[in-house]
Amino acid sequence: MKILITGASGFIGTNLLEDLTLKGYEVINIDWKEPKIPERKNVWVNVNIIEYAPFEKACMDFNPDYILHFAARTDLDGKSVAEYDANVTGVENLLKIVHKLPNLKKVIITSSKFVTRNGYQIKNQFDYCPHTVYGESKVKTENKVWADMPQCDWCIIRPTSIWGPWFGEPYRNFFDMVMKRMYFHIGKTKCHKTYGYIGNSIYQIEQLLFTETTAEDNKVFYIGDEPAYEINEWADEIAGELGFKVPTMPVWFVKCLAKFGDFLRLFHIHFPMQSFRYGNMTHDGTNDMTNTYRIAPDMPFTRIEGVKATLAWMREYEGR
């Protein structure tokens, strides 16, 4: 069984490539960046997906049974959708190629939870309200798929805030803040958010890949853990593994820090606490995992198991 992954040099793709390879599948990685794991250079094809001709040749030569499309620009720094061409032209190119692949059984196209703002409860799979340019580009990704649907089975996945070995910014920032003792609880405030440990995410993605999702009114699946995390509890678990306790700051004091940070921002001076971050730390941001859990009901890892594995990886690969 042949599986093609675009973007398998990224965070989620690296973990997928490793898991599928170890399970004995024939896998290739189409990416313009080198793999994070040097031993996987033997399955790396150096191609930029916005360049149609080499992208088409790489896909046709491999002739996959399955495609996992993860290649994308995922940072939040862009000023216009045009800067996220991989998310628009890249998926256009993929869809053209998909129609030419005779053995293709299924394709999964990766979008993002950022097609809606944090905390927004979607009404249906076409309900969008992005609050970042990156999110706007992923809305275009989804619309391109609906406008040129693959002839084989397919679905769209929206990863939430995924974390674990091989992660980078922005989702490793939480771990970094706790490890540097820069994170603190805000009074008795409770905040719930949908996050996902990468080991569980790989399980969910593979279950979706090898399960039929043919109903056109049920094509979008969030990737993440259920129930949503209470952030203070998660921070306490990380700190507990590191041998210290997370401190608690009074609400009024943190609000003052946020206002002070806003003031410094006017002069282009960075301060770790601003109103935006205060709001993010005190407002829920959950996603409905019902569709995904129908297909992938048995998460293989607990959160604390994920925390231990992630800290072990950080120590081994980063000397931390």
Measured in whole angstroms, how far is the alpha carbon of residue 133 from the centre of its chain?
16
pLDDT higher than 80, residue 320: no
Whether residue 249 lies inside any domain: the answer is no
Query: Does residue 254 belong to any structural domain of this protein?
Result: no
Q: Does 134 reside within a domain?
A: yes
Instruction: Please tell me the chain's helix, strand, coil percentages from 3-state DSSP, rounded to the nearest 5.
Output: 45, 15, 40
* 283 belongs to a structural domain: no
- Helix (H, G, I), strand (E, B), or coil: what is residue 132? coil
Distance of CA 176 to the CA centre of its chain: 18
Sign of CA dihedral 274, 276, 277, 283: positive
Domain assignment present for residue 229? The answer is no
Domain of residue 54: give its range: 2-159
- Structural domain count, the chain: 1
Q: Tell me the per-residue pLDDT of 171-210, one tens digit each, with 9 for 90 and over.
A: 788 999 999 998 999 999 999 999 999 999 999 999 999 9
The pair of three-digit structure tokens given for residue 242, joined into one six-digit string: 């590191």
pLDDT of residue 319: 62
- CB half-sphere exposure, 258, CA atoms < 13 A: 17
| First-to-final CA distance of the chain | 38
CATH number, domain with residue 91: 3.40.50.720
Question: Is 92 within the bounds of a domain?
Answer: yes
Q: Is residue 169 part of a domain?
A: no
Mean pLDDT in residue range 262-286: 87
Task: Please state, in angstroms and rounded to a whole number, the distance separating the CA atoms of residues 183 and 17.
Answer: 33
Q: Of 294, 286, 292, 261, which is closest to residue 276 (Cα–Cα)? A: 261
Task: Assess if residue 206 is contained within a domain.
Answer: no
**pLDDT score for 65:** 98
pLDDT digits (tens, 9 = 90+) for 87-126: 999 999 999 999 999 999 999 999 999 999 987 889 999 9
Residues in the chain: 320
Q: Are 230 and 192 in contact (CB under 8 A)?
A: yes
Over residues 161-169, the mean pLDDT reads: 94
- pLDDT score, position 170: 77
